[in-house]
A and B are shown apart, each in its own frame.
Chain A
Amino acid sequence: MNASPSAPSASQAIVSALNHPAIWRGNDFAQVATPSVPTGYAELDVHLPGAGWPTGVITEIHVERPGIGELQLVMPAAARLTQADRWLVMIAPPYLPYAPALAAHGVKLSRLMLIRPKTLAEQLWACEQALQSTSCGSVMLWLDQSSERMAENALRRLQLTAERREVLAMLFRASRAASCAQAALRLHVSREPQTSRTAVRILKRRGGGIPAPVVLDLHSALLQRPTPAQRDEFDHVSEAPASAFVTH
């Protein structure tokens, strides 16, 4: 009787209660207030809690194989942090980060630091120091195959160090690696077959739910083929057989 007028307000109350950020519903992606840095990719931002790379937690990025866009994925955020005079620390990268390309991505090179420790223990120590320093904006640690059996408590320690600090902590691992329970965000980066686009799958995030893979075209600018006029000009110069350009 008097329940009917109050029913809408009651459901509204429930809805508003459920909108509370502390309440997590298993079937969807709760909006969790997490301090974040925008990734620079709007398609990815909408699926991340806090709409960006979360700071103060470990983000684990599983890479199918190197050279498929994993570095470009994190570069806009890292570059922006170097512009704000905060260090971009790369610990044990698998290859040499190429300075002109980094500069072209907007990285302020005077804020780039490359650390190549000899042992895993030193890598972890350097990572911990970097996370502790308030001057670091983003810390990237690569773990190679031999160090994959990294003790869970070492990661736990890194996570505790990163907590409540305004720092992006990125952990790059091979996709076969066992995932660590400590990471608050886990992504898997792979290539879409037959295209040059990069597929980013979110494997774990705060707030729950696993969305469909986000497909990013990271290399579109790179792959603009030369116009025919340019090609003619080039052929003229190089004396190379045309078959060499498009080989399938």
Chain B
Amino acid sequence: MLWLALHFRHLPLDVFTRGMPADQHPLAVTSGAETGARIIAANRVAQMQGVQPGMGVSAACALAARLQLVARDTAKEHASLKRIAAWSLQFTSLVSLADPDAVLLEIEGSLKLFGGLNKLHQHIARGIAQLGFNASIASAPTPLAALWFARAGANVRVQHPDALRHALEKLPADFICDDTAMRDLLENFGAQTLGDCLRLPRDGLARRAGRQVLDQLDRALGLRPDPRQPFIAPQTYSAALPLPAPVSQADALLFAARRLLAELCGWLTATGHGVQRPRFEFIHEKQLVTIITLELANASRDLDHLTTLLRERLARTELPCAAIEIAIASGKVVPLASRNLAFLPDNAGREESSSRFVERLNARLGAHAICGLTPHADYRPERAWRACQPGAAAPDPGQATSSLMPTRPLWLLTTPRPLRESGKTSAAPMDQEGSPLSLLAGPERIEAGWWDGQHVARDYFVARNQAQSLLWIYRERNVAAHWYVHGFFS
């Protein structure tokens, strides 16, 4: 077994600041809203102004005039930790929560897939940074040792059990237990490090400090089993990200939304699903909510693609005022198998890129601006086609139909345009300038539609005007017998 521990030292602060690209204003997290509250964490700007964790709130406010205070939200921290655990299921199938601020991953089986321990470390570190958290990462053959290394902030990657003892010996003795009385006791023994503790006689230590200390040491060294509760990924994903300051620019909103999208995509990868209608809620001041639902032609879990779609949608959405919170819900998810990458660009890749192309256009231009055309079985030219979703056209009618339809123009006028006519009794069609049209082919009689109230009875001709354009014109077969132009043979 090889365990990787992610320890989120700054979790109380990170849950509030991860929606912002950089610290701009001093911000501190307090232990509560009551008067005697203390500062638990402060961002970089606040720390530069002298605010330190452990300080009283009034002292901190005296140091930093514009200090923004938020009360610690442990429920949000726990929810974040669970979402991180769900996200990290993409790297391994065994993930365990180590409350209150760490996640453990069993990674031995994943080393080969991700190209070794160092690569995996980098991969996870990059991913965590993309989520907007600060984590210290360490790995060791036992979960407890990995956790201790991560808590100590030591970037330790012990892969072999034999090297574990040597690495553990350097850690401070504080990690053995949280009990201060016990820590004092160990300090009185002169045991500064875990190495010192290990060198103490076991039976004496057990008698004086209790069995618990020995058990912890044995678990860390792998001499005692240390079972961990596996984390089970939730069935749906929903998350909310509070913004420390109201945000009105689309770019800044996108930045914050991308944090959640990265979580979503990690969860989707872990569960082998794709989203088709992810839903975003931008919660504004005055309790206004803007809802954006992306419509995807094909399920996807590609972070960049989803970000692009959201960017295009945000660009054409007007927000009523600045947003203070972003929420995201996965909506319905569908199973999405991973695709084998091909050495050469293949058809599957092209199909995927084509559906993405359509989705991008939809997101930017709106669904009404894009369509495909499909033939429809009707003799009336204006009804022989239908608009449809791009790519959804009926399969080709084949050679039979094309030979049946020798004279159809490539351009059709949506509504036929009346032609001028010569004033004689046998009215002849003329073009806009008043020069007569010469009829080259025809007529082709089309008479249909008496059954649905859109009856047409027309004789179609191919005509040439003075400028040598070929027109598709018709004469109505009624008493008036007016001429209309219906298309161009482009």
Which A residues are within 8 Å of any B CB, using their own CB?
64-72, 75, 85-87, 93-106, 108-118, 122, 125-126, 129-130, 133-136, 191-196, 219, 221-226, 234, 237-238, 240-241, 243-248
- Choose among A134, A135, A196, A248 the residue with the greatest number of B CB atoms under 10 Å from its CB: A135
Q: Which residues of chain A come closer than 8 Å to B413, judged between CB atoms? A: 95-96
Contact (Cβ within 8 A) B410 A247: no
Q: Which residues of chain A come closer than 8 Å to B441, judged between CB atoms? A: 222-226
Q: Does B364 contact A (CB under 8 A)?
A: yes
Determine, out of B18-26, B59-67, B113-121, B368-376, the stretch whose residues face the partner at the interface: B368-376
CA distance A215 to B464 in the complex (A): 18
Q: Which residues of chain B come closer than 8 Å to A110, judged between CB atoms? A: 372, 374, 391-395
Interchain nearest-CB distance for B377 vs A (Å): 10
Q: Does B74 contact A (CB under 8 A)?
A: no
Q: How large is the interface on B (under 10, 10 to 19, 20 to 34, 35 or more residues)?
A: 35 or more
Give 17 A-B contacts (CB < 8 Å), ordered by A residue.
A67-B470, A71-B410, A95-B412, A95-B413, A97-B412, A98-B409, A99-B373, A99-B384, A100-B384, A101-B410, A104-B402, A109-B394, A126-B365, A133-B357, A192-B468, A222-B441, A244-B428
CA distance A238 to B364 in the complex (A): 51
CA distance A112 to B386 in the complex (A): 13
Q: Does B58 contact A (CB under 8 A)?
A: no
Query: Who on chain B is nearest to A107 by CB?
Result: B396
Contact (Cβ within 8 A) B384 A66: no
Evaluate whether A247 and B405 lie within 8 angstroms (CB atoms) in the complex, with A67-B488, A96-B414, A118-B369 already known. no
Interchain nearest-CB distance for B459 vs A (Å): 6
- Per a CB cutoff under 8 Å, which of B353, B387, B405 touches A134? B353
Interchain nearest-CB distance for A101 vs B (Å): 4
Contact (Cβ within 8 A) A109 B370: no
Evaluate whether A67 and B401 lie within 8 angstroms (CB atoms) in the complex, with A96-B412, A101-B409, A117-B365 already known. no
Q: Does B92 contact A (CB under 8 A)?
A: no
- Per a CB cutoff under 8 Å, which of B372, B391, B412, B438 touches A246? B438
Which B residues are within 8 Å of any A CB, using their own CB?
345, 347, 349-351, 353-354, 356-358, 360-361, 364-365, 369-375, 381, 384-387, 390-397, 401-402, 405-414, 426, 428-429, 436-443, 445, 459, 461-462, 464, 467-471, 475, 477, 487-490
Contact (Cβ within 8 A) A72 B354: no
Query: Who on chain A is nearest to B355 by CB?
Result: A135
Query: Who on chain A is nearest to B436 by CB?
Result: A247
Interchain nearest-CB distance for A102 vs B (Å): 7
Evaluate whether A238 and B411 lie within 8 angstroms (CB atoms) in the complex, with A97-B373, A248-B438 already known. no
Interchain nearest-CB distance for B283 vs A (Å): 30
Query: Who on chain B is nearest to A94 by CB?
Result: B411
Interchain nearest-CB distance for B473 vs A (Å): 11
Contact (Cβ within 8 A) B487 A98: yes
Q: Which residues of chain B come closer than 8 Å to A196, judged between CB atoms? A: 440, 464, 468, 470
Interchain nearest-CB distance for B36 vs A (Å): 57
Contact (Cβ within 8 A) A103 B369: no
- Per a CB cutoff under 8 Å, which of A86, A104, A240 touches B405? A104
CA distance A55 to B415 in the complex (A): 36
By DSSP majority rule, is chain A's interface helix, strand, loop, or mixed? loop
- Per a CB cutoff under 8 Å, which of A85, A111, A237 touches B445? A237
- Per a CB cutoff under 8 Å, which of A67, A70, A117, A125 touches B471? A67
Q: Which residues of chain A come closer than 8 Å to B351, judged between CB atoms? A: 135
Q: Which residues of chain A come closer than 8 Å to B386, judged between CB atoms? A: 99
Interchain nearest-CB distance for A193 vs B (Å): 7
- Per a CB cutoff under 8 Å, which of B406, B459, B471 touches A221? B406
Contact (Cβ within 8 A) A102 B392: no
Contact (Cβ within 8 A) A100 B439: no
Query: Who on chain B is nearest to A64 by CB?
Result: B467
Evaluate whether A135 and B370 lie within 8 angstroms (CB atoms) in the complex, with A125-B364, A191-B467, A196-B468 already known. no
Contact (Cβ within 8 A) B353 A238: no
Q: Which residues of chain A come closer than 8 Å to B489, judged between CB atoms? A: 67, 69, 72, 219, 222
Interchain nearest-CB distance for A219 vs B (Å): 6
- Choose among B381, B411, B471 the residue with the greatest number of A CB atoms under 10 Å from its CB: B411
CA distance A115 to B369 in the complex (A): 6
Evaluate whether A129 and B361 lie within 8 angstroms (CB atoms) in the complex, with A68-B490, A110-B391, A243-B426 already known. yes
Q: Which residues of chain B come closer than 8 Å to A225, judged between CB atoms? A: 440-441
Evaluate whether A133 and B354 lie within 8 angstroms (CB atoms) in the complex, with A94-B411, A109-B375, A222-B441 already known. yes
Query: Who on chain B is nearest to A69 by CB?
Result: B490
Contact (Cβ within 8 A) B401 A102: no
Query: Who on chain B is nearest to A83 by CB?
Result: B396
Contact (Cβ within 8 A) A133 B439: no
Q: Which residues of chain A come closer than 8 Å to B350, judged between CB atoms? A: 85-86, 134-135
Interchain nearest-CB distance for B255 vs A (Å): 22
CA distance A68 to B464 in the complex (A): 10
Evaluate whether A113 and B390 lie within 8 angstroms (CB atoms) in the complex, with A67-B471, A102-B410, A122-B364 already known. yes
Contact (Cβ within 8 A) B365 A115: yes
CA distance A106 to B401 in the complex (A): 11
Q: Which 5 A-B pairs have the closest CB atoms?
A: A67-B488, A135-B354, A191-B468, A71-B490, A99-B385
- Per a CB cutoff under 8 Å, which of A100, A136, A226, A248 touches B436? A248
Q: Which residues of chain A come closer than 8 Å to B375, judged between CB atoms? A: 99-100, 103, 109
Contact (Cβ within 8 A) A66 B411: yes
Interchain nearest-CB distance for B432 vs A (Å): 11
Q: Which residues of chain B come closer than 8 Å to A70, judged between CB atoms? A: 490
Interchain nearest-CB distance for B397 vs A (Å): 6
CA distance A100 to B403 in the complex (A): 11
Evaluate whether A247 and B411 lie within 8 angstroms (CB atoms) in the complex, with A109-B375, A114-B371, A115-B361 already known. no
Q: Which residues of chain B come closer than 8 Å to A114, judged between CB atoms? A: 370-373, 387
CA distance A92 to B406 in the complex (A): 26
Contact (Cβ within 8 A) B411 A67: yes
CA distance A133 to B350 in the complex (A): 9
Q: Which residues of chain A come closer than 8 Å to B402, judged between CB atoms? A: 103-104, 106
Interchain nearest-CB distance for B422 vs A (Å): 8
CA distance A72 to B408 in the complex (A): 12
Interchain nearest-CB distance for A216 vs B (Å): 13
Query: Who on chain B is nearest to A109 by CB?
Result: B393
